[in-house]
Structure 1
């Protein structure tokens, strides 16, 4: 597992873009509609480098060589009254790598890094009924509620979304 700085996001942007496009093609609701072209996915990842450089986003990736098999991010809150929390974003595992514990390892990496950064409350949203819900529930995340018609699936159908949160041990911030 590697934490990517801004240069790393740019270096691995192609592999990250392939992962994003494959994830959307596989039906995962991660904010994009199908079909998602590689150029659009690549541009999206390249734009994230600025957020990483500014400390607003932390990104981890895992893979074999230049092929990215999984990624996860933490979007840090910018408001002074919210610096104790972050949003877990874009947890994606390549379809060929699923079922091997990579999603759980990515999740654990993000949680550990959050604690080290002084973040003790994480939140996320995921499509209700998606396979990701099992991972979050089994990793101790608590559902806060479901919002109907929150986001469109890759096929463009409005779907409910469940909001989850997880309290982590509080520490002194290091970010």
Structure 2
């Protein structure tokens, strides 16, 4: 783990102020081949529009946004907890867009983000978390190490940023 990186929850105003930095992380991850809902090339405008929407969701209390910052205060990672779910699922949340900039990988940042999202879920009164990721990916192994239970795989569920089909594994975690 890296002690020069801090992970914290950001509120609506700060989320809006982080849009450009978060767009940089997203664009880097997509360029690096991460299957996170976007195709290459991901334009800055599209990435910023996505994060503006996320910031709006934070303002509406529909999601929790966590960021990881390096010692210089630069955003190097992020994860979200989506809490806007149907009324029969008040105990559940989805974990989304766990991203770490390629220059900051292999330093324990993703592990710290996942621990922080668990804590945020507890603070929000959520006891069942769900996420999905590319089957066999580094993220898949991270989630298993963090206590997530594999539900199963859906072949050809999504596309990689280059258009190649990829399988997706679904996970859940009880807190």
Q: Give the TM-score band, short-chain normalised.
A: over 0.9
1:167 aligns with 2:174: yes
Distance 1:100 1:117 in 2: 28
Gaps of 5+ in 2: 1-6
TM-score by length of 1: 0.93
Q: Report what 1:172 is aligned to.
A: none
Q: Which residue of 2 aligns with 1:29?
A: 35
2:115 to 108, 119, 130: 108
Q: CA deviation at 1:66?
A: 4.9
Partner of 2:47: 41
The answer as to whether partners of 1:149 and 1:160 remain within 8 angstroms in 2 is yes
Structure 1 residue matching 2:48: 3-state secondary structure: helix
- CA RMSD, 1 decimal: 1.0
**Match of residue 15 from structure 2:** 9
Map residues 94-133 of structure 1 onto 2, 5 A cutoff: 94-133=101-140
Structure 2 counterpart of 1:140, from 117, 126, 147:
147
- Secondary structure in structure 2 of the residue aligned to 1:144: strand
1:54 matched residue in structure 2: 60
Q: Deviations over 1:57-92 (max 9, x none)?
A: 100111134521000000014322101000000001
**SS of alignment partner, residue 81 of structure 1:** coil
**1:76 aligns to what?**
83
* 3-state secondary structure, aligned to 1:100: coil
- What TM-score does the superposition give when structure 2 sets the normalisation length? 0.93
CA distance in 2, matches of 1:88, 1:140: 14
Distance (whole Å) between structure 2 residues aligned to residue 118 and residue 75 of structure 1:
13
Q: How many residues align?
A: 168
